[in-house]
Structure 1
Amino acid sequence: MTDLAERWLDLREFVERTTGLTRRERPAPIVPPANVAGRALMTVIAIMTFLASLTVGAVTLVSDTAGQWQSDISREITVQVMPDDGVDMAAALQTVQTIANGTPGITGASVLDDAATGRLLQPWLGTGLDLDELPVPRLVIIAIDGDSPPDFAAFAAQLTAAVPSALLDDHRAWVSRLVTMARAMVIAGLAVLTLVLVATVLTVIFATRGAMAGNRQIIEVLHFVGARSGFIAGEFQGHFLRLGLFGALGGGLAALFLFALMGLWTRTNQATPEADQISALFGSFSIGWTGYVGVVVLIATIGGLTAFTSRITVMRQLAAIDMISPVEG
């Protein structure tokens, strides 16, 4: 009998004695197939991806809506003519409109008529208002050229000189608050996304260690007889990559379906107060192509992160076995 045959018999006897398997029995796989633990991990990853996708979509939605609001506000300014004793409101409004139309950088000015002013006050004062008997400020809506805006300080001084009760509102305070709110929402969304990814990594680490503990004998035998750590880690990496991708795909598609459903609901129920409120805040509730791309990137990231985390965990566990085994021997 050759040395090679003797080594093979010794190796087979060692494997059978260590694992309790005979050569006629089917050997257990390195990584367990889809089981309860695998389905549970896939479900957890799907839930994490769903929450992360909602965060990405919400941040995209708020950012786009805030940009639209900022663009709309920056294209218009208003002039309030305050009622005062001895002020001819009609003449004052006409003067403001004339000055605005003659100022460079202003593309148009329109006086908010009595009917429009009454509709603005209707939720608080009801219908049938007589604005001549109420000390209500009147508004002049002024459209400005976004590429070449006017000198607001000079325009305000000219208005004050002609109509002392006129007040210019260029909406800078609103724009500043809007930008601050949008940035705070983006930071909060990134923080939530980071926490979700960290929780996913920890879940994969525990799942990988559990899978290794359930197949410890097989892994140790393969490792001691010469199987490279990269080969064993690759088996776990492929297994957890499939779990991660399937779970992330399910969670991401569920989030995209929810956004599409909300957009469809707002478009088909535009006459209701609820849909009008949502449309006023978020427009058509569409996350746009940037949101969809972000969710797709998130799905791929979670799948790759799951596989990478599993591989690193296996490599560290095998390195720990190498450090312990000489002491035990």
Structure 2
Amino acid sequence: MHRVVVIVDANSNPFELGCATEVFGLRRTGELGRELYDFALCSPDPATLMRDGFFTLTGVAGLEAAEDADTLIVPNRPDVEVPRRPAVLETVRRAHARGARLVGFCSGAFTLAEAGVLEGRRATAHWQWADAFRTRFPGVRLEPDVLFVDDGDILTAAGSAAALDLGLHLVRRDHGAEAANAVSRRLVFAAHRDGGQRQFVERPVPDVPDESLAPVLAWAQERLGEPLTVDDLAARAAVSAATLHRRFRAQLGTTPLAWLTGERVALACRLIERGESRFEVVARRSGLGTAANLRARLHRETGLSPSAYRHRFGPA
């Protein structure tokens, strides 16, 4: 079983630790009939004082527990200017050298960068610390407008709640969309949030806020197999196409067409996981039209062809 280990260090953020525990540590026999991960916490100290002294974490393993991690989640904390401890950084370097997957939530990107494993790589961090990160680590290709970055064996999440987005992405990548949806239902959290952290950056509140897109999104999700267009969505919302684009940008950080395509790809993944082997049927029922378009869209979203996706996530 894939082993996920979280390093907890002094002044670590409890919220992200809770996110990791919820996504990777809880038993899933109720939702899925099987366990997804072997999960453990470790720390360089027998007792670790968490952020702002909220509580002290005890009873977890030492750093040696990270030596056999398949995925290692590095520590994060609000005092980004304070250097991480050498023992923690060396543990991260050893994990990277032996091929473990590394994950940083929020300011965890600073830990990864200090360890030297992000040089020349893509990453993200909370928008509040983007300028400080660029100044300290100019060799890292920071992407400040996204919720998370998947750079293969190193993944980073932009902020606290984005830890859930990245966690569900990892479940989807490891076990497929059906498993990720089951975990998201348990969390009462969207399995996939479109857009990026730009939508959360401080900005003036408009005098007349846009109305919620929730009704038109729910309406479209029930009709993904139909030939929906942006004009159809605009008509349903009783606004012009231009107004709809503005609302999507403001509320979701994406375009109506990109959102619609993403929902159709997610539906195609679920159909394949549930056993539909005729790719032309998957394409038609998900609204992607043709098997060729299904192949192109699925590869863009998952890095897998429909056949490879079925082999990895389809019924045994």
Provide TM-score, normalisation by structure 2: 0.20
Provide TM-score, normalisation by structure 1: 0.19
- Higher Cα Rg, which structure: 1
Higher strand share: 2
